[in-house]
Amino acid sequence: MDSQFDLVIRGGTILDGSGLEAYEADVGVIGGVISEVGQLGAGTQEIDAHGLLVTPGFVDIHTHYDGQATWDNRLSPSSNHGVTTVVAGNCGVGFAPCRPGDRQALVRLMEGVEDVPEIVMAEGLPWNWESFPQYLDVLARRQFDIDLAVYLPHSPVRVFTMGERGVNREPATQDDIARMHAIVAEGVRAGALGVSTSRFLEHRTRAGEQAPSVHSAEAELHGLAGGLRDAGRGVFQIVPHLHGDPKDEFALMRRLVESSGRPLSFSLVQTGLAPAGWRVYLDCLANQQPESASITGQVFPRPIGLLYGLDLSFHPFCLNPSYQAIAHLPLPERVRTMRDATFREKLLAEEPESSNPFHHVIVGALPSLFPLGDPPIYDPKPERALAAQAAAKGVSIKAFAYDLLLEQDGKALLYWPSTNFLEGDLKTTREMMTHPGTVIGLGDGGAHYGMVCDSSFPTYLLAHWTRDAPVAERISLSQAVAELTRRSACAVGMHDRGLISPGMKADINVIDYDRLHLHAPRPVYDLPAGGRRLTQAADGYAATIVSGDITYRNGKATAALPGRLVRSAGP
């Protein structure tokens, strides 16, 4: 029988990304596009999906693969969790535009804000660009396992425009703002998905210097917004001032939307800095939307969690002088030294030392840490906290944490649910992520290589919120798929994907829903210069398809690399 399709996914239960209920059908693909859905004829290649879910590929709109995409063809761990499109360049940090003399400033910033080791960037970044359009052209010549789109980040634009004045966070002049305006318009016309910035005070270099964008005046932000207006497209992505008044921050975002005429999305989390601020933001999203375009909150479907371990970037004693003296040693030697009673006593008596105040916050979270476990527990009960376990054993929390870190030959992981968990449960998370003014995001793939592994959130969202959570707390499977696909894609202007429908891009997942399972994160040393990153495996993905090519089968990569740079569409 002659084949009518390049690929047929046969007999699956389709959740098409629209939010409608599931139905059974075949999906036919021709030329990388979904051609037909129904009872279909033969395909040159077929996947038997009977008893399996068929969904659009997932879209992760908040990642930092800006560097990894220049040296690696695989944008993992995102691509290990059904993600077929990622958006990089978030939070106002990245590597373009950049003059040769400013490279080190951007490297220091990415090292501090996104925990990408300097040596990895020194070895991995080709720096074969200067302008942002040139950077896009470099990415356009590369091949990936999934698609990649990129925001134009504010801090590099500021440094490119102002040099040392920009690095030092000096006020921008009117001429500076006019140049930034023009750079944004040029970058978005060349294909940037929009512009991004950060007002978060803890976005710092490792030495503690704040990001160039953090204290930018409103007039400068309007300059960026004007670039979007001139280009007639794009999204303004912003990390708000989490220490500030949510009403003031939302009013600023409204003014930026009115200035640009373009949508805006912002990071929405519950933090200890403003424990009730998330409710104010949700109220504003519901009742104070600007007229010209929408504002959307990006939320994360579990606590944003920092991971601690002797083989990671941080642990409770990493800033202590005695540990600093052995930090360069291989893990087995460090473990051997730390098991020495004299060394243990000396280290436990010390206090952390660092010029970066945020590092003190990280190591000071010791009472709020939990053992992560395998499978990982992201909503731990209070009795699992290190403070509670130490008290039950009648030992100091420092001594208890010290001994715990030495378990599994020094590979034990501790977990700090630093946001969305202040009440000790996920009720806040559920309310934020089911609000009509929010979309799912904040996975941060490609960054925080040694402290966060949150790009696994699509697997968690499906397994926990639709299957394993108490019945009264679950969300519908069709709603969860819509959040991971069509809603996320449309939030950043990608209207050609996120839906199982004729004419849509053939980015598709085939999922064994009952087998969906997250393994604990683990460090691997596969970055340039042997650098370390966290990765996380999952069971249950029978196949992932990008542009009609099968890129993963049962969690294993194929040789196919159909992923490409996605440039923003014209007005």
**Residue linked to tokens 């696994």:** 456
Residue-level pLDDT at 423: 82
Q: How confident is the model at residue 1 (pLDDT cuts 50, 70, 90)?
A: low
Q: Which of 62-71, 171-180, 420-429, 514-523 has the lowest mean pLDDT?
A: 420-429
CATH architecture assigned to 5-56+512-557: Roll (2.30)
> Strand 414-417's sheet: what is its strand order?
305-308, 414-417, 370-371
Amino acid 130 reads E
With b for 16 or more beta-carbon neighbours within 10 A and e for fewer, the 253-271 pattern comes to bbebbebbebbbbbbbbbe
Cα(482)–Cα(502) distance, integer angstroms = 17
Q: Which of 81-85, 271-275, 437-441, 483-487 has the lowest mean pLDDT?
A: 271-275
Q: 385-398, pLDDT tens digit by residue?
A: 999 999 999 999 99
Please give the average per-residue pLDDT across 51-60, as a whole number.
98
Q: Which of 158, 159, 138, 161 is nearest to 150 (CA)?
A: 138
Residue-level pLDDT at 122: 93
Quick check: helix, strand or coil at residue 290? coil
Residue 163 CB-half CA count within 13 A? 1
Q: 210-241, pLDDT tens digit by residue?
A: 999 999 999 999 999 999 999 999 999 999 99
Please give the average per-residue pLDDT across 313-322, as a whole number.
96
Please give the average per-residue pLDDT across 18-25, as a whole number.
97
Residues of the chain with pLDDT > 90, as a percent, come to 93
> Strand 235-239's sheet: what is its strand order?
152-153, 194-198, 235-239, 264-267, 295-299, 438-440
Please tell me the pTM assigned to this model.
Answer: 0.95
Residue-level pLDDT at 570: 63
Residue 160 CB-half CA count within 13 A? 25
Given a cut of 60, whether residue 3 has pLDDT beyond it is yes
Residues of the chain with pLDDT > 70, as a percent, come to 99
Dihedral (CA of 488, 492, 497, 500) sign: positive
Q: Which of 540, 524, 532, 401 is nearest to 461 (CA)?
A: 540
Q: How confident is the model at residue 374 (pLDDT cuts 50, 70, 90)?
A: very high
Quick check: helix, strand or coil at residue 466? helix
Residue-level pLDDT at 295: 98
The three-state DSSP-derived secondary structure of 130-145 is CCHHHHHHHHHCCCEC
Q: 279-310, pLDDT tens digit by residue?
A: 999 999 999 999 999 999 999 999 998 999 99
Q: Which of 118, 119, 19, 110 is nearest to 65 (CA)?
A: 110
Please give the average per-residue pLDDT across 64-79, as a whole number.
97
What average pLDDT does the structure give for the chain? 96
Q: 73-115, pLDDT tens digit by residue?
A: 999 999 999 999 999 999 999 999 999 999 999 999 999 888 8
Cα(306)–Cα(416) distance, integer angstroms = 5
Q: 28-53, pLDDT tens digit by residue?
A: 999 999 999 999 999 999 999 999 99
Residue-level pLDDT at 201: 82
Q: 450-504, pLDDT tens digit by residue?
A: 999 999 999 999 999 999 999 999 999 999 999 999 999 999 999 999 999 999 9
Q: Which of 213, 219, 215, 217 is nearest to 237 (CA)?
A: 213
Q: How confident is the model at residue 356 (pLDDT cuts 50, 70, 90)?
A: confident
Residue-level pLDDT at 314: 95
Q: Which of 46, 59, 53 is nearest to 14 (CA)?
A: 53
Residue-level pLDDT at 422: 86
What are the sequence ranges of the domains in the chain?
5-56+512-557, 244-303+422-440, 306-417
Cα(519)–Cα(539) distance, integer angstroms = 8
Residue-level pLDDT at 571: 56
Q: 522 to each of 123, 147, 241, 305, 446, how far by Cα in Å?
A: 23, 25, 32, 14, 15
CA distance between the termini of the chain: 44
Residue-level pLDDT at 273: 79
Q: 300 to each of 264, 395, 422, 434, 496, how far by Cα in Å?
A: 17, 35, 14, 11, 24
